Structure 1
């Protein structure tokens, strides 16, 4: 599967971009040219220069440094939200799909009711009730986004548990624990990984969007969505203030989508056994 993934040029390009941004976030204290929160009104709205590669914002802060440190916030919380979503949805979806019966019906009816509300709107309402802050934003997103994942994982489990190798494992006396973890979840791991990779971009957009509305990162924390929000009054005088964080969000989201598409193609080829083109 790794070889097939490496043949996807767009997927490799996306992976390189993701690695660059992750490395930039981890190495931010060493590669950022300036303190991202240092205010110096004498340097406000400067054009790009050797000292400030992308110029400065309305408070004289280095835009390039804030973008680098913003990668820490945006990517870290996106990955953390995804980890929490999977930690909730995998057990719930597996339990519903494997147990079946009344328990499955009860879980799915609860999920159907929650799915009746738009995910982003429900997250916005929860974050608004809890108040601004990245921790509250994380809770709001994780509390809503696991629902759709649980439904998809339940469908995977329903398909896999009817396979011959699962029935053979049961006939050989394998315990429920062995059947679920060794045979069902391990075979569902690849599709779940693809789904998670494809959805990280959506989570980054959600975090940036809610931060843009003031419900996420609070000043002076550098975060891409918050940077977009702060630059709104200067859209005509200094459009680059919105351009750079907007492009950063677009590039990172596209990179994760490319990686997810590459993984999906590799996994699909592995399952179908078809000829790679």
Structure 2
């Protein structure tokens, strides 16, 4: 029999995989336990999930390669589990999500969040789709002065429609929330604001204030999204992650559409300054961990 403790072992293994690279930004000091598992549990209980993503690179005038691939992978996995998905992004990442959704044959609705009437848009999304869970994957969050900043302290507020309001209103409506981040300036990082302000470069300026019920801190935010997918595989005893070739196709098409690396600012198939091969290796490790768990449970059931 597959005992409950094995779930914890697998989740710990997944969290260790995505912790690589955290020391480069000072987030290795974060000490959160059970956040991945709590996020996965909540998503499993949900029927409709809103995924918020897209982080603009000001100098390039477009979104980066971190965020949309993870959001698309999560949407793909959730739909394999019969969930309804809504993706929320802005005009800077719009085409990346639409191209990826078409490639993956997603049924997900894509809502483009605009600069004006953010409060009304947040209410509209919640009232129209009635989500059980709202999750951010690498989405800029506002600091205590209601401003958004890049990881180097560049003010990007005018490029960031205020999606914080979705998470604020979610709490008012008793909707569960989660977030994935890697730098301290993303939605959800208010949960570890003390660490961000003390250990992250310009942390006292860039630190996002909005907290979420669950927070997954990963070396790269895409990795955190893939980790959630792996966790969903394990808890549902079902492979819901796509393969290596699809991973490659999604990233290549997003880059072809103009996405840039958030660190290098170059239009290339790298993420946060890490090579394609480095990022792919993390995806493969997570998928392999999930597959091995599912195979073990299936063999143990005979």
TM-score range, shorter chain: 0.3 to 0.5
TM-score between the two structures when normalised by the length of structure 2: 0.32
TM-score between the two structures when normalised by the length of structure 1: 0.34
Return the structure number with greater strand share: 2
Q: Looking at CA atoms only, which structure, 1 or 2, has the larger radius of gyration?
A: 1
